[in-house]
Amino acid sequence: MIDTQNIHVQKIENSKIGQVDFNNIPFGKVYSDHMFMADYAEGDWKNLNINPYAPIEMSPANPSLHYGVSIFEGLKAYKHENGDVAVFRPDKNLERLNFSARRMCMPELDESVYYDGLDTLLALDKQWVPSVPGTALYIRPFVISDDDYIGVTPSVNFKFMIITCPVGAYYAKPVRVKIETEFVRAVKGGSGACKTGCNYGPTLYPAQLAKSQGYDQLIWTDGREHKYVEESGTMNLMFIINGKLVTPETGDSILNGITRRSVIELAQAWGVEVEERKVEVAEVMAAIKDGSLQEAFGAGTAATIAHIEVIAYEGKDYTLPDIAKREFSNKVLKELDDIKYGNKEDQFGWLRKI
């Protein structure tokens, strides 16, 4: 059912779907047929429309290009066995998009614009939600400036867009991570808790350096002392230490991940003790050495759960316990997948059916 009351829909003439090999999808390179767009001008969201996916025009003086005035989200839609399409916790993404908007002097999004856009776009491109096990449709909502003014000042015109791309089965390989003690991602008082473009560009160089040293990702530490572990690239960081789920508390410098929150809520429902607090690098290293660290993983929309196999610190690699023996992270990964793919009752009300 496509509600076109508020949205002007221009359908594509010839769908590109026939050209896609759903068994072999390169991440982030294949986009579905349509995109959603709305304009913000004179204090209101307006001109809601869906068009064939295509390049957009903008002024070369657009502040998003020069100063990182942009915010984004990442979420996924899953195909169920009965053909239903369900989006995982989109309400949390809207909340976080509006949190980012306030920090970046950008307008908050109306709930109706967000859901009308999301629902109509997904209904139109429903066949783009892949059904091969492990695959999903990645959804990227974002807001950019639409000003033609190069001054460093809040913009007045904006564009909200949603683009989507099918993504392949993400068989998350266990990762090797390096505890970063030189470069900084975020600090107290900064914008690290926002999904804003300007947080990611500066992480590419330290991540590339870690890659060249044989690591998949970094574990960022606090920007003042490099004393506390914070998070990992695009995933939050979680540990099982002495049977407890221990994770750095969120704040200015740690992204408030929806996967992280979901893992915590499941752990609590299962009676697992959860500690959200500052976690010292020294504590993690001591727990590795005395054997009380049982599991370590990253939590994020892309991989859901990425087991950490090796942690490097001060030039030395530490190998963590056998992945097969990691009871909690394996169980929570399966539970989240079962809920997302509709194989288990959605008892928390996390799914939005399209």
Ligand X SMILES: *Cc1c(COP(=O)(O)O)cnc(C)c1O
| Amino acid type, 138 | Y
Given the complex with ligand X, which of 34 and 195 has the nearer CB atom? 195
| Cα(194)–Cα(273) distance, integer angstroms | 28
Residue 255 interacts with ligand X (CB under 6 A)?
yes
Residue 235 interacts with ligand X (CB under 6 A)?
yes
How many of the other CB atoms lie within 10 Å of CB of 141? Answer: 25
Q: Which residues pair with 314 in a beta bridge?
A: none
Phi and psi at residue 191, in whole multiples of 5°? -110, 15
Among 63, 206, 300, 342, the residue binding ligand X under the rule CB under 6 A is: 300
Given the complex with ligand X, which of 306 and 354 has the nearer CB atom? 306
Residue 259 interacts with ligand X (CB under 6 A)?
yes
| Cα(295)–Cα(240) distance, integer angstroms | 5
Q: Least separation, in Å, of the C-beta of 239 and ligand X?
A: 16
* 34 burial via Cβ count (<10 Å: 0-12, 13-18, 19+): buried
Residue 236 interacts with ligand X (CB under 6 A)?
yes
Given the complex with ligand X, which of 48 and 336 has the nearer CB atom? 336
Distances (CA, A) of 338 to 28, 78, 236, 345, 346: 24, 11, 21, 8, 9
Q: Least separation, in Å, of the C-beta of 4 and ligand X?
A: 30
Given the complex with ligand X, which of 120 and 217 has the nearer CB atom? 217
Among 74, 174, 251, 321, the residue binding ligand X under the rule CB under 6 A is: 74
Task: Please count the CA atoms within 13 angstroms of the CA of 169 that sit on its side-chain side.
Answer: 10
Given the complex with ligand X, which of 124 and 219 has the nearer CB atom? 219
| Cα(104)–Cα(124) distance, integer angstroms | 32
Distances (CA, A) of 190 to 198, 252, 255: 11, 6, 12
Q: Least separation, in Å, of the C-beta of 260 and ligand X?
A: 6
Q: Least separation, in Å, of the C-beta of 61 and ligand X?
A: 28
Phi and psi at residue 348, in whole multiples of 5°? -95, -5
Query: Which among 297, 292, 280 has a CA at the least distance from the CA of 229?
Result: 280
Given the complex with ligand X, which of 45 and 220 has the nearer CB atom? 220
Q: Least separation, in Å, of the C-beta of 96 and ligand X?
A: 7
Given the complex with ligand X, which of 258 and 332 has the nearer CB atom? 258
| Amino acid type, 216 | D
Among 32, 62, 294, 301, the residue binding ligand X under the rule CB under 6 A is: 301
Q: Please tell me whether residue 122 adopts helix, strand or coil conformation.
A: helix
Residue 257 interacts with ligand X (CB under 6 A)?
yes
DSSP letter for 254, please.
B
* Binding track, positions 157-196, relative to ligand X; x by CB under 6 A: --------------------------------------x-
Q: Least separation, in Å, of the C-beta of 112 and ligand X?
A: 23
- The residue range among 39-47, 132-140, 256-264, 339-347 that interacts with ligand X, by the rule CB under 6 A, is 256-264
User: Which two three-digit tokens encode residue 25?
Assistant: 């999808």
- The residue range among 31-39, 122-130, 174-182, 251-259 that interacts with ligand X, by the rule CB under 6 A, is 251-259
Among 146, 230, 231, 295, the residue binding ligand X under the rule CB under 6 A is: 231
Q: Least separation, in Å, of the C-beta of 92 and ligand X?
A: 7
* Binding track, positions 120-159, relative to ligand X; x by CB under 6 A: ----------------------------------------
User: Which two three-digit tokens encode residue 168?
Assistant: 């392949």
Query: Which among 345, 341, 333, 258 has a CA at the least distance from the CA of 85?
Result: 341
- State the sign of the Cα–Cα–Cα–Cα dihedral 47, 49, 51, 56: positive
- Sites of contact with ligand X (CB under 6 A): 74, 195, 231, 234-236, 255, 257-260, 299-301
